[in-house]
């Protein structure tokens, strides 16, 4: 699990780690402001079943596209399951077009702020959770 390079938000990562672990997942949490290169080298080292990218600062669309292109361009990571979610743009969850673009560039799934958690966990092959929706957490913005 990771954020993207420009996003410092943490509560989303803390919550998702607990949620995934409670549903049988084993989580390596790379934390916030993760450079693309770190995400890729850790994926190559750990060989996870899936990479979950959670971001809420509004740059997720830009940073996510850049990252997934790098990931899919690497022969060792081309087939890894990669999903992204959170608040991906600065205008709220309104742009179906940007979701399609993310998928077209290689994401296996895109979950905006109010996405269904069962669908998210199901996509990762994990069990049914207690809470119903992903939190739209915001910890700060200076």
Partner 1 sequence: MAPPTGPGRFTRFVRRASSEGKLVVQPRMGFGTVEQMRAGLDAVRDVDAATVGTITVDSYTRVNDHASALLALEKGADLNGFPLVAHGAAVTREVLAGIAGDDFPVQVRHGSALPRELFEGLVAAGADATEGGPVSYCLPYSRVPLAQAVDAWAECCEMLAGISEPVHLESFGGCMLGQLCPPSLLISLSILEGLFFREHGLRDISVSYAQQTNQQQDIEAIHALRALAKEWLGDTDWHAVLYTYMGVYPRSRKGAYGLLEASARLAARSGTERLIVKTAVEASRIPSITENVDALERAARAAEREAVAEPAGIPDSGIYEEAQAIITHTLTLGSDVGKALVRAFALGHLDIPFCLHQDNANRCRARIDDRGRLTWADPAGVPIPRARDLARNRQRLTARGLLDMLSYNERRYDHPSRTSHPR
Indicate the residue among 35 and 125 with the shorter CB distance to partner 1.
35
Pick from 47, 74, 91, 119: which binds partner 1 (CB under 8 A)? 91
- Binding residues for partner 1, how many (CB under 8 A)? 39
Q: Which residue has the tokens 């069990």?
A: 127
Q: Are 80 and 48 in contact (CB under 8 A)?
A: yes
Q: How far apart are CA 125 and CA 131, in angstroms?
A: 17
Q: Is 137 in the site for partner 1 (CB under 8 A)?
A: yes
DSSP 76-93: TTTTSEEEEEE--STT-S
What is the footprint of partner 1 within residues 64-83 (CB under 8 A)?
none
Shortest spacing between CB 49 and partner 1, in angstroms:
19
Q: Tell me the β-bridge partners of 67.
A: none
Q: Which stretch binds partner 1 (CB under 8 A): 33-41, 69-77, 78-86, 103-111?
A: 33-41
Shortest spacing between CB 26 and partner 1, in angstroms:
15
Q: Which residue has the tokens 């702020």?
A: 113
Taking the alpha carbons at both ends of the chain, their separation in whole angstroms is 25
Q: How far apart are CA 11 and CA 22, in angstroms?
A: 17
Residues lying near partner 1 in the complex (CB under 8 A): 5-8, 10-11, 13-15, 18-19, 22, 29, 31-35, 57-59, 62, 87, 89-92, 113, 129-131, 135-142
């Amino acid at each position: 699990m990771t954020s993207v390079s420009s996003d410092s938000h943490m509560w989303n990562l803390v919550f998702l780690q607990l949620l995934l672990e409670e549903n049988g997942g084993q989580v390596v949490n790379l934390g916030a402001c993760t450079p693309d290169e770190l995400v890729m080298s850790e994926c190559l080292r750990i060989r996870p079943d899936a990479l979950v990218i959670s971001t809420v600062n509004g740059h997720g669309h830009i940073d996510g596209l850049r990252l997934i292109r790098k990931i899919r361009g690497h022969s060792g990571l081309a087939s890894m399951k990669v999903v992204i979610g959170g608040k991906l743009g600065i205008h709220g969850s309104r742009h179906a077009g940007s979701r399609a673009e993310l998928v077209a560039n290689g994401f296996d799934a895109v979950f905006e702020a109010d996405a269904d958690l069962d669908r998210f966990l199901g996509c990762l092959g994990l069990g049914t959770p207690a809470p119903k929706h992903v939190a739209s957490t915001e910890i700060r913005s200076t």
